[in-house]
Amino acid sequence: MNLPFRTLGVSPNAWTVNDAIADITRPQKPPQPVILSTETKTLRLDLAKAAILVIDMQNDFCHPDGWLAHIGVDVTPARQPIKPLNNLLPELRDAGVPVIWINWGNRPDLLNISAGSRHVYNPTGAGVGLGDPLPSNGARVLMAGSWAAAVVDELEQVPEDIRVDKYRMSGFWDTPLDSILRNLGSTTLFFAGVNADQCVLATLCDANFLGYDCVLVKDCSATTSPEYCWLATLYNVKQCFGFVTDSQEILTALQKSEE
């Protein structure tokens, strides 16, 4: 008698089981190879094993009423990725590439945030730091569930997108991101967001250390830091941690794969 199988887990990291058998072969998704030009090499990669991480495109970093603007930072550069992301993300979704939004969103009690981390964002202790209300609208700085930690309205999110709160510059530190990516079977990661030289780079470096293949999407990333920080980021990604491309090259690769 053939017993029906049921699926446990998330494809492709899933088993099929019944009363007698556990099939742990984990059938893979059909390959979706594309050819992508980068600034150093031409890549042949599998979109079925790819994901895009969009980091910190949130109000506190990108909105003129957010926390960065409150402390005197010109957030105009941080808004530059909005348009190219709006062009790229729908095409990646159509190709089945998961979109993962990684926003800085602390616990309300800040119990997992050290004094040293709090000092970075409030060096005198008398300013508006982590968890404090913004004078303009009362939103609590970098707090999960607040306006401050929400993705800017100009970027469309869809229900199928994945959201991860982070608590440090790296999206991997003390978060479920690595487990999520391994369940998705993602080995190639596209990186976008702000600030390129801080949270984006820290997350990309950790991804490289964990064995992921890393591709920084240049026009979908930006920084409010000085220009030399941006140039150093591009240099270090290409020299040590992965590859650099732009959204148009990805769109071209997607188009050619459909021909």
The answer to whether 102 touches 51, Cβ cutoff 8 Å, is no
Tens of pLDDT, residue by residue over 35-58, are: 999 999 999 999 999 999 999 999
Confidence of residue 175 (pLDDT cuts 50, 70, 90): very high
d(CA 188, CA 204): 11
Is the separation of the CB atoms in 198 and 225 below 8 Å? yes
Q: CB-based contacts of 215: which residues, under 8 Å, 6+ apart?
A: 36, 38, 43, 188, 189, 190, 191, 242, 243, 244, 245
* pLDDT one-digit tens code per residue, 134-162: 998 999 999 999 999 999 999 999 999 99
- Indicate if the pLDDT at residue 1 is higher than 60: no
Question: CA dist 6 to 18, 24, 25, 95, 182, Å?
Answer: 6, 12, 14, 27, 21
pLDDT tens-digit series, residues 82-141:
999 999 999 999 999 999 999 999 999 999 999 999 998 899 999 999 999 999 899 999
Domains of the chain, first to last: 1-28 (no CATH), 31-256 (3.40.50.850)
Q: What is the pTM of this model?
A: 0.95
Q: What is the pLDDT of residue 190?
A: 99
What mean pLDDT comes out for the span 6-24? Answer: 94
Helix or strand holding residue 235 (H, E): helix 227-236
pLDDT of 240 reads 98
Cα 62–55–201 angle (5° rounding)?
A: 110
Contact 70, 136 (CB under 8 A): yes
pLDDT for 259 equals 67
Across 149-178, average pLDDT: 97
**Chain segment 203-238, per-residue pLDDT in tens:** 999 999 999 999 999 999 999 999 999 999 999 999
